[in-house]
Structure 1
Amino acid sequence: MPAEYLLSVDLGTSHTVAVLVWPDGRTRPLLFDGSPVMSSAVFLDQAGNFHTGRDAERLALTAPERFEPNPKQRISDRTILLGDREVPVTGALAAILGRVARTAVEAVGHLPNAVLTCPAAWSEQRRGALHDAAAQAGYRPVKILTEPVAAAHYYTTRLSHPLQPGQALAVFDFGGGTLDIAVLERRQDGSFGVLADGGLPDLGGLDFDAALVEHIGETVKQREPEIWKRLENPTGASELRNRRELWEEVRAAKEMLSRSSVAPVTVPDMAQSLHLTRGELDQISRPLLSRAVGETQRVLGLTGRRPEHLAGLFLVGGSSRMPMVSKMLHEGLGIAPTVLEQPELPVSEGAALALAGPAPVTPPAQVPSPPVQSPTSPHTSPPVRSGSLPPVTPGTDETVMLRRNSPEKPKRKIPPKWIAIAAVVAVLAIVLPIGWWWLTNPYKQKPFDEELKPVGETIAFAAEGNDGIYEVRAWGDKTLFAYTTASSDASGEELHLRAVDTETGDPLWDADTVMTGAGWDENFYVSEDLVAFSQEVESGGETQYRFYFLDWKDGEIRNTVDSPDRTAARSGDHLVIAPLGGNVFDVYDGDGESVATWPVGNVDESVTLSGWNLVGTPEDLKEPSLLANGNGRAWAVTSDNVVHVYELESGDLVAEKEIEKVDDLYFGWDNLLYVVVDKETGYELNAYDLEDGLSLLDNEVIESDTAAPDKVRYCSETSICVREPVEGETDVYTWRIYDAEEKEVVHVFDDLEYRYMEPLGDRLMVEYYEGDEVHTQIYDNGFDTVGNSLGDAPFHAVDGGSAITWPAPSAFSASTGNVIGLGRDGKRTSLSIGLEVFSCDATETRLACLTPGGMQIYSFRDA
């Protein structure tokens, strides 16, 4: 029993709840404006004073720019702009905690010691911000407990649902702004450990409110279009107040529908009220909740346990009270959730119970038993399972024994050493294959850090950039930064180059390599021993392209090579230059020295090079951050419709054959050459074997109403993606997946407005439009979705199991956006909010960026 008062505070995204623990162990929630649930909103007035809760929401109607409804969501931003003042996020959180402190002092005469809660995934930096906010609010040093652990203590103590050591509980925390999910295991000492956590940062009660407002709006728009116009786009304080009242009405109706089948909705300025039914709410909620169910299944899957292995599924957070939440979780998982009448309270009271004293641990049963079934929810009944044990009486340590019809015959005892040996053999039989698979799996998912961290000092620009090139090329432990500035003598512009050690952020050159001129190409070719790029120059009255080869060590020019065309490609540490319209292939090493030269076609007979590229290899999937490396071969099509395949370093001809026309679409991948031949009612997709003299391996006839394909790319070790533009749409495509092993099109992406796709190891990252926003969805090799779609794009694969997105370039000005990591399991890791950059490139562990302040390396995971 505690010897003094204890204050427990759950500062949530949308609401804050606080509970006092009396010296005799009694608990009582604090009341704010007569309610145990206070809005987490803040308002900063002209004098610089914070207002919280309901007062902040009322004042928001007078000056919306001074209002922040969810300061906890802004904790990564560090500051918030409220009106004309930029204030620390900790100041806003301190205002909320200060309101709680004053209420606690009114209740017991002083401010007790306190415990605060936070999400399981919060970093030490975010927890530190919570400590700072509490200190600013006048608290003594506080303890911090994660929200799912607090909920687990409430579940086992206040609800008297004991968990034995080794049993697991899932906590589904569904608040106003976010969904957080965690699976916890009861340890031998009675504490809880988090086995896995996840959630959806963009799904909460506010999203249901928005969907319901939109639903109501369709009716209002038909009956009173002018009223809806004012509600949808308010222009004054009165209209803002009406809009706020509508949202409050809809929220109240949503909550009422958890208790009844019909709820009225009063729309401001409309004479007659509208009605929402439970059926309408369920229909609107189902697609949103399907994401929540999917995320719950994903998080549970990370633990290696099945739903029936859980001892319970506990729903907390205000949005959990919707009956559809329990219903869909029950349908999706097969277990009945536990949800309370006031699901906002368990986290705060659970944290108080956790610190007030250790919860009793139920001793292990004396006979094996299946996992304990989750308690019955008020809205659903648990499924009956045959062969299950009778239930344990809540709040007791009673052991349940199986009854048998007759005593069993005594069994021969096996010596303990043989039992131990058999156990070891059984474990090895399971673990060794799994361990070997994990060690040899080229597409392992590596964890991201909790935030993007600068590596080394920012390297300032030597001069202010112009509207020319901002390029970054990262390769392993080296990064090349390139930018252009106006020339000091008005002779064009200056190209600035600087090499940096990617691991340390230290410059490899003391100063920029500066080259004066114009016509710089934005293609920079880099590898371990290659730095090359080109410039358009005049030579003998003709346009030429001069390729420069630089030294990584000092930035000095090693060599230059002139060519009539800038068409080039990198293969390993070699640069291949083969001008279209010519008939020569040239291969150069990192010193700019010729390695191989061979003719293709015959200029005298007007047989010239019409197209060429490298043949890709599945090894590119394992190290995508190193860009396409190729398998040392190139294909070429000459104007006489003949395809030639060469070994790059030797120039040896591997295969040669007349197969299609020069204006068809060609792509080389994994020793196959794919050719797309346009037809009147679709196209043909032909696959030729490079190892067998370009023999025809397969011919697929594709019937399609879309335009002819304009791109082919690799999608997995054995498949390619063929892109067909959708007529009348910009940047919208149908994608067909052809698998060489199956010798058929195995999937078509055409049910949504698809954009681009990129392989992530053996999975696909697929971009599609949802309205004007681009979302990313991961698909496995069976084309089933993995995790949930993400409102971010594009992601760039950095290894076989993870990808990263950063602010997209915006012409020649800096762009501001977020840096987000993505695992092959669909889990999203926020690394940085509001990063401003011109251009970036990534390795497996580092992000290299040209920022307004200069050149900067960042770390997103350990090297």
Structure 2
Amino acid sequence: MPAEYLLSVDLGTSHTVAVLVWPDGRTRPLLFDGSPVMPSAVFLDPGGIIHTGRDAERLALTAPERFEPNPKQRIADGTMLLGDRDVPVAAALAAILGRVARTAVESVGHLPNTVLTCPAAWSEQRRATLHDAAAKAGYRPVKILTEPVAAAHYYTSRLSHPMRPGQALAVFDFGGGTLDIAVLERRPDGSFGVLADGGLPDLGGLDFDAALVAHIGETVKQRDPDIWKRLENPSGASEMRNRRELWEEVRAAKEMLSRSSVAPVTVPDMAQSLHLTRGELDQLSRPLLSRAVGETQRVLGLTGRRPDQLAGLFLVGGSSRMPMVSKMLHEALGFAPTVLEQPELPVSEGAALAFASPAPVTPPVQVPPTPPQSPTAPHAMSSPPLRSGSLPPVTPGTDETVTLRRGEPEPPRRKIPPKWIAIAAAVVVLAIVLPIGWWWLTNPYKQQPFDDELAPVGDVTAFAAEPNDGIYQVRAWDDRALFAYTTASTDPSGEELHLRALDTGSGEPLWDQDVVVTGGGWDGNFYVSEDLIAFSQEVATGEYRYHFLDWKTGDTRNTVDSTDGTAARSGDLLVLAPLGGNTFNVYDGDGEKVAGWKLGNVDEGVTVSKWDLVGTPDDLEEPSMRANGNGRVWAVTSDNVVHVYDLESGETVAEKEIETVDDLYYGWDNLLYVAVDKETGYDLNVYDIDDELKAFDSEFVESDTPAPDQVKACGEALVCVREPVESATDVYTWRIYNPDKEKVVHVFDDREYRNITPLGNRLMVEHYEGDDVRTWIYDQGFDQVNNDVGDNDFEAIDGGSALTWPASSGFSVSTGNVIGLGRDGTRTALRTELEVFTCDASETRLSCLTLEGMQVFSFRDA
């Protein structure tokens, strides 16, 4: 392990990322304004101070002539004009590195030895400028490693892809401003040498943003030419701020489209939001990406090697997360690239791994702290020691303290005839056994055993044609599974959606349905239940067509055209509702409208701001069936009024003004929870839906963490409130509230916690140990059930067990293990190295889209 801290900095064209390596080998990215990714932007104020990152972006709205978003691109110029001053590029880079240095010092108390990264094609003169910038920022002499070599170290070390000497890896570094491509060869000593490099200095994420803004502009221009004129040619700070806001909205929509098929875009001064679809993004991206693919093929050709002779193609840089990037490279080279969920991070962390000493073969075992155990009862955990002035220990599940008395005289005993003892014993046995037996038979949280391995059910059902990257979806339901994927259509302006239903008992196909769509894109949302298959397409901007299919035949039962872009399923009902509108419509599995109502008044500006279903404990008993609510929906309109409706009748259950639309709402077990941010914490207010939203309880939580950002169910009555931990990514404090006791009954804050998920009436709690995420199980008394169930993300499949399987990033293939987990913490390894696009699980079956086609696997008897 390294003897001291090490800092690695990837100063990119658009963003800067820095990683710290702890003395024990852990790595953790530095956070800037709560994010591991800091804009590489600079702003020179009138006093001569250079501001960096998001501060620079905010100040740019006041004086854009003093702003440079990409100073790294100006390195060959030597100086750049900011306002009325010529500023050396080295000074601008030094300001960015200085910001990194200050953050590192705040984290570990000093500035560690540092490694910086740079493009492979940089000359010695440019590297000297980087050395000069580091010296100006107060760094000791730094080491410089090229970005593709750093990425290669991440690929082989962190991703565990071993490469033999002589094997080659292609690194595709697609950032905000440039594209850099390099092919590296593994040397006998384990280092990497660059065989060939190239790239496109004029192609990056900003070019895609510009294409999307121009595309949005055509719609805005048709609806309101004056608005577009002000956005295209702003004058004054306000209009410049609106233009920047539009670009930020488009950039956020582009990133959202890497995860979903449609994304909203709010255009300043326009009353109604617009939408971008993945189909539109793909259409605009293809000509730009054709250049990237051509350059990749050119650089690879310089090495004399064919694509099938590569050990892999590793995609890094923020723009690599667009699904179309991996899709087109896959089509051109014949194999799937590797791309991560956060492709900005591998270069910085890879450089750190390259210079950190290798860890010992057998690392020391870190045993998590557990309460001491009694030597006479090895499986019973003793009570924690009492602090001065504390109460005696509380028996789990009660409010009573246990008091033990010794030395008191026993009352005189009376002899009881043996026959009465026998009768009484029989009565006691029946009184105990019958309820226990009945409870066991009806207990929704039973732990069912897993098989020894994951077994294929039937043969693979082949794809109808080569899938593209539009949609990969699987929905498992009891004894059936629905598969959905898209392929290119014979109509060049559209694509074909293929739907296949399989019997999960036999693996045999039940039916298939193919639909060609033009003019719009398929939505990635599918709503499936016992008697419902529904999905949607966007036929035009802001206009949707919902398709309702028959589970038995696959035939289309009905189609419904709607302007409602948000939907949710409750049982066999589909709710279509607006954000920014005021009409709710409810449809059954036949696509027939069963209820509908209007809230507020659009003409008066009173519209729906947020809405969701009211959850129920039934959701915990059969999570794989996704019960989704008790047939009620809540909505908050822009006039701060909460409305609760019954879905089947459309009748009002409750209606009342209680908080504001800016607060955090959650409905569970006929209670409505609202978290209201305060200066020194927040109020958790609880309202009774069945009692006309009467105030049920109010708890003030004193907290120095940021305001809660999520409330969700953690048990039949329990709810979890999540508070982000300041200056940390994906780390939270969790507070558990019990309405039966009208108080917060437990707080998870003694570790770096990530996620909490209910497993029936127990909790799966994830926390960090170094870079690993470990999962512990807790019972209803918040006692730890087991020591550790590993570093996997488990999903509950029934009330007593959970499952983990490979999850792909984007539309690339993912390889991983399938592991079963019982509520007692026992793990069952079912399969290693399973390659899939995506999967979904029921209580007994795992249904997957694999490279060969659609396959059902069994992990326990149906």
Query: What residue number does 1:163 align with?
Result: none
Match among 358, 370, 374 for residue 233 of structure 1: 358
1:810 — aligned with what?
809
- Work out whether residues 497 and 514 of structure 1, in 8 Å CA contact, stay in contact via their aligned partners in 2: no
Is residue 706 of structure 1 aligned with residue 705 of structure 2?
Answer: yes
Superposed, 1:605-624 pairs within 5 Å as: 605-624=604-623
Q: Which residue of 2 aligns with 1:598?
A: 597
- For 1:789-804, list aligned pairs within 5 A: 789-804=788-803
For residue 660 of structure 1, what is the aligned residue in structure 2? 659
Judging changes above 3 Å, is the alpha-carbon distance between structure 1 residues 838 and 672 closer, same or farther for their aligned structure 2 residues? Answer: same
CA distance, structure 1, for counterparts of residue 604 and residue 379 of structure 2: 75
Query: Does 2:561 align with 1:521?
Result: no
Q: Describe the superposition over 1:434-463 as per-residue Cα deviations: whole angstroms up to 9, x where unpaired.
A: 223322322111111111111121111111
Residue type of the alignment partner of 1:727: E
Encode CA deviations 1:556-589: one digit per residue, 9 max, x unaligned: 2222222223111111111010111111110011
Q: Which has the larger radius of gyration?
A: 1
Quick check: 1:496–1:515 contact (8 Å CA) kept in 2? no
1:677 corresponds in structure 2 to 676
Partner of 2:57: none
Residue 494 of structure 1 aligns with an amino acid whose one-letter code is E
Quote the residue 1:438 is aligned against: 440
1:850 deviates by 0.8
CA contact (8 A) 2:542 2:565 kept: no
Pick one of 475, 493, 496 that aligns with 2:495: 493
Do the aligned partners of 2:806 and 2:835 also contact (CA within 8 Å) in 1? yes
In structure 1, C-alpha distance between the alignment counterparts of 2:695 and 2:585, rounded to whole Å? 29
Greater displacement, 501-510 / 420-429: 420-429
Residue 687 of structure 2 contacts residue 697 of structure 2 at CA under 8 Å; is this kept in 1?
A: yes
User: Secondary structure, in 3 states, of the residue corresponding to 1:778?
Assistant: strand
Native 8 Å contact 2:494 2:517 kept in 1: no
Q: Which residue is 2:450 aligned to?
A: 448
* Aligned residues with identical type, % of pairs: 68
Cα distance, 1:821 vs structure 2:
0.7
- From the superposition, tell whether residues 461 and 517 of structure 1 become closer, same or farther in structure 2 (CA, over 3 Å): farther
Q: Which ranges in structure 1 are unaligned for 5 or more consecutive residues?
A: 1-79, 85-227, 235-242, 251-283, 298-305, 310-328, 334-410
Q: CA deviation at 1:467?
A: 2.1
Letter in 1 for 2:451: D
* 2:642 counterpart residue number: 643
Question: 2: CA distance between counterparts of 1:426 and 1:330?
Answer: 27
Listed one character per residue, the Cα deviations across residues 468-514 of structure 1 (whole Å, up to 9, x for unaligned) are 22111112122111112222332132221111122221111056555
SS of the equivalent of 1:788 reads coil
- Cα pair 2:717 2:739 within 8 Å, conserved: yes
AA matched with 1:674: Y
Paired letter, 2:721? V
Given that 2:676 and 2:684 are in contact with CA atoms closer than 8 Å, whether structure 1 keeps it comes out as: yes
Distance 1:833 1:641, change over 3 A: same
For 1:424 and 1:818, how far apart are their aligned partners in 2? 50
Residue 468 of structure 1 corresponds to: 470
Give the alignment of 1:468-617 within 5 angstroms. Answer: 468-510=470-512, 512=514, 515=517, 518-538=520-540, 542-617=541-616
- Aligned residue pair count: 484
Match of 1:149 in 2: none
User: 3-state SS of the aligned residue for 2:780?
Assistant: coil
2 CA distance for matches of 1:288 and 1:676? 36
Cα deviation for residue 645 of structure 1 reads 0.8
Distance 2:665 2:826 in 1: 35
User: What SS does the corresponding residue of 1:288 show, helix, strand or coil?
Assistant: coil
1:278 maps to: none
**Residue 639 of structure 1, CA deviation:** 1.0
- Distance in 2 (CA, whole Å) between partners of 1:629 and 1:645 is 16
Matched AA of 1:807: P
Partner of 2:89: none
RMSD: 3.2
The CA distance in 2 between the partners of 1:543 and 1:721, in whole Å, is 35
Question: Within 1, Cα distance between the matches of 2:368 and 2:685?
Answer: 44
Cα deviations by residue, 1:503-530 (Å, 9 ceiling, x for unpaired) = 2211110565555564221111011111
**2-structure distance, mates of 1:480, 1:675:** 36
- Which secondary structure does the structure 1 equivalent of 2:435 belong to? helix
Answer whether contact 1:534 1:566 (CA < 8 A) is retained.
no
How far apart, CA to CA, are the structure 2 residues paired with 1:794 and 1:826?
14
> How far apart in 2 are the matches of 1:598 and 1:576?
11
Alignment of 1:284-299 (within 5 A): 288=367
> SS in structure 1 opposite 2:734?
strand
Structure 1: how far apart are the matches of 2:479 and 2:807? 23
Separation of aligned partners in 1, 2:495 and 2:527:
21
Alignment of 1:331-480 (within 5 A): 424-425=426-427, 427-480=429-482
Question: How much has 1:231 moved relative to structure 2?
Answer: 11
Matches of 2:839 and 2:354, distance apart in 1: 42
More relative contact order, 1 or 2 (CA 8 Å, 6+ apart): 2
1:650 maps to a residue whose letter is S
Q: 1:632 to 1:845 in 2, by over 3 A?
A: same
Give runs of aligned pairs for residues 829-848 of structure 1, distance below 5 A: 829-848=828-847
With structure 1 as the length reference, what TM-score do the two structures score?
Answer: 0.53
Query: Matches of residues 88-237 of structure 1 in structure 2 within 5 Å?
Result: 232-233=357-358
The amino acid of 1:288's aligned partner reads V
Q: For residue 767 of structure 1, report the CA deviation from its aligned partner.
A: 1.3
Q: Which runs of 5+ in 2 are unaligned?
A: 1-161, 167-352, 383-414
Cα distance in structure 2, aligned partners of 1:573 and 1:834: 36
**What's the CA shift for 1:629?**
2.4
The equivalent residue for 2:61 is: none
Q: Distance in 2 between matches of 1:715 and 1:770?
A: 23
User: 1:669 Cα shift?
Assistant: 0.5
Mapped partners of 1:665, 1:563: distance in 2: 28
Q: 1:331 to 1:695 in 2, by over 3 A?
A: closer
Name 2:743's counterpart in structure 1: 744
| Residues 737 and 746 in structure 1, CA contact (< 8 A), matched pair in contact too | yes
Q: 1:781 deviation in Å?
A: 1.1
Q: 1:628 & 1:754 partners in 2: Cα distance? A: 28
Secondary structure of the corresponding residue to residue 509 of structure 1: strand
Work out whether residues 684 and 700 of structure 2, in 8 Å CA contact, stay in contact via their aligned partners in 1.
yes
- Alpha carbons 2:494, 2:516 under 8 Å: kept: no
What is the letter of the counterpart of residue 732 of structure 2? Y
